[in-house]
Copies of this chain bind each other. A is one copy, B any other.
Amino acid sequence: MSGSSIGVLFKVTTWGESHGPATGAIVEGCPPGIDLIEEDVQKVLNKRKPGTIASSSPRKEEDVVKILSGTFQGKTTGTPISLIIQNTNVDSNAYEDIKDIFRPGHGDYTYFKKYGIRDYRGGGRASGRETAARVAAGAIAGKIISREGMEIIAYTKALGGIVIKLDRDGAKKISREDIAENSLMCPDKDAAREMEAKLEEARRSGDSLGGIVEIIVRRCPPGLGEPVFDKMDADLAKALMSIGTVKGVEIGAGFKVAEMTGSQANDPITPDGFLSNHAGGILAGITTGQEIVIRVACKPIASIAKVQQTINERGEPVEISIKGRHDVSVIPRIIPVCEVMVSIVLADHLLRQKAL
C-alpha cells in the first residue's frame, strides 16, 4: 500500500523514478494567500545541485521545477500544489549491463523481493533522485515556517571520520554565511580542509565516505508536537530516517544520554530560560522553545568502483564494479534534503497546533 506521503495537515506526496519521464510532488494543506512563484522553489532546489566539489558527481542534473496547480497570480489558493521536475540528461544504457544484478547496499534486492518487479534504471524509485521532489515540496514548507520566524541551519558535522570542533555555544552562533563559506557546508574550516583530502583519497581508491549532518532549528515556538505517538521527535526521526542514506537519528544529547545521570541530563529551568539543552529543544515530544538540535548519520554512498561480491536475480554469484557518475559522499548534497524534511515536519505541526 501507499507509503509515499508524509504529514497530516501539511502533506507531501512524492512520485517518480530516476529514469522515468519526470519526478514530482503534491503539496496538500498549504494555507491560502502565501506568496509563491516557481523561483522560490527553484532557489531551494538549486542547493541540491551537484557542485564542483570533490564529493559530487560530474553528472549534470538540470533540475527545473514547474508549478502546475494551487497558485493564482503569485499566491497559494489553498488547493493542492503540483510540482514537476522533468528528468533530463538521463542515460539508461549504463544500467543494461547490471539490470539483473543486485548492487550491494542498494534497494535492488529488497525491491525485487517486495514487488517481484523493479525499474532497474538508476535505482528507479529508490534513487537519491527522489529527494529532488522532497526538496521542491519542502521549499514550500520552508516558506510557512519562516513566516513564523523559524530558521533552519544544517551543516556537515563529520565526514569520513573527521569531526568538526565546535562547542555547543559555537553551534548557537553558526550562521548560514559561515556554512556557505566552503563547498562542504562545514562551519569548521580546518576540518573542511581535512574532509576534502579524505574525499579525494576515497575518490581515487574508488570508494565512498559516510558522515554526520547536524540540523538546528531556531526560534521554534514552544508547544509543537502531539503526544503520544506523533511526538515532535518521533515525527522528526521518521522524516529523517526516511532519507535513504540515514542510519541513525539523535535529538539533543542523543546517544550521550546513555552515559549521563539525571542531574547531568535534566536541563534546569530559570526565569530567564533553560540553563542547558540536553533535551535538544523537545520535552515529552513537545517543543520547549529552545533550539531543536538533531544529528543524523549518513552511510557512505553504496555505488562504488571497487569490486564487490554479489548475486544476480537467478541467485548466481557475480562481481560488480559500479562505474558511472556517482558522488563520493552524500554530504553535502544531502544537507538541503535534511533541512526540508525538518521543515515539512515543523509546518505540519504548526498547522496541527492551530487546529487545537
Contacts and interface: CB of A to CB of B under 8 A. Distances in A.
A4 B105 contact: no
Given A69-B20, A125-B77, A257-B247, A287 B234 contact: no
B231 A242 contact: yes
A13 B251 contact: no
Interface stretch (A27-35, A56-64, A170-178, A179-187): A27-35
Contact of A315 (B26, B271, B278): B271
Interface in A97-121: 102, 104-107, 109-111, 113-119
A212 interface: yes
B247 A241 contact: no
A271 B105 contact: no
B252 A249 contact: no
A201 B268 CA distance: 23
B4 A28 contact: yes
Interface string A309-325: 11100011100000000
Contacts of A233: 241, 247
A161 B225 CA distance: 30
Copies in the complex: 4
Given A2-B226, A104-B268, A110-B284, A70 B255 contact: no
The majority secondary structure among interface residues of chain A is mixed
Contact of A117 (B15, B72, B212, B241): B72
A17 interface: yes
Contacts of A286: 107, 110-111, 113-114
Most chain B beta-carbon neighbours within 10 Å: one of A8, A261, A264, A299: A261
26 contacts: A1-B352, A2-B28, A13-B26, A15-B79, A16-B80, A77-B125, A79-B119, A79-B125, A104-B266, A107-B286, A110-B223, A114-B222, A114-B356, A235-B238, A247-B252, A248-B255, A248-B257, A249-B250, A262-B303, A264-B300, A266-B308, A271-B315, A271-B317, A278-B299, A354-B354, A355-B355
Given A1-B8, A20-B69, A271-B317, 16 more contacts: A2-B80, A5-B229, A13-B13, A15-B81, A20-B68, A22-B68, A72-B124, A84-B84, A107-B283, A110-B286, A111-B227, A114-B286, A208-B262, A210-B257, A237-B240, A262-B303
The 10 closest A-B pairs by CB, nearest first: A107-B284, A3-B226, A3-B230, A2-B28, A248-B250, A110-B286, A238-B238, A208-B262, A105-B266, A355-B355
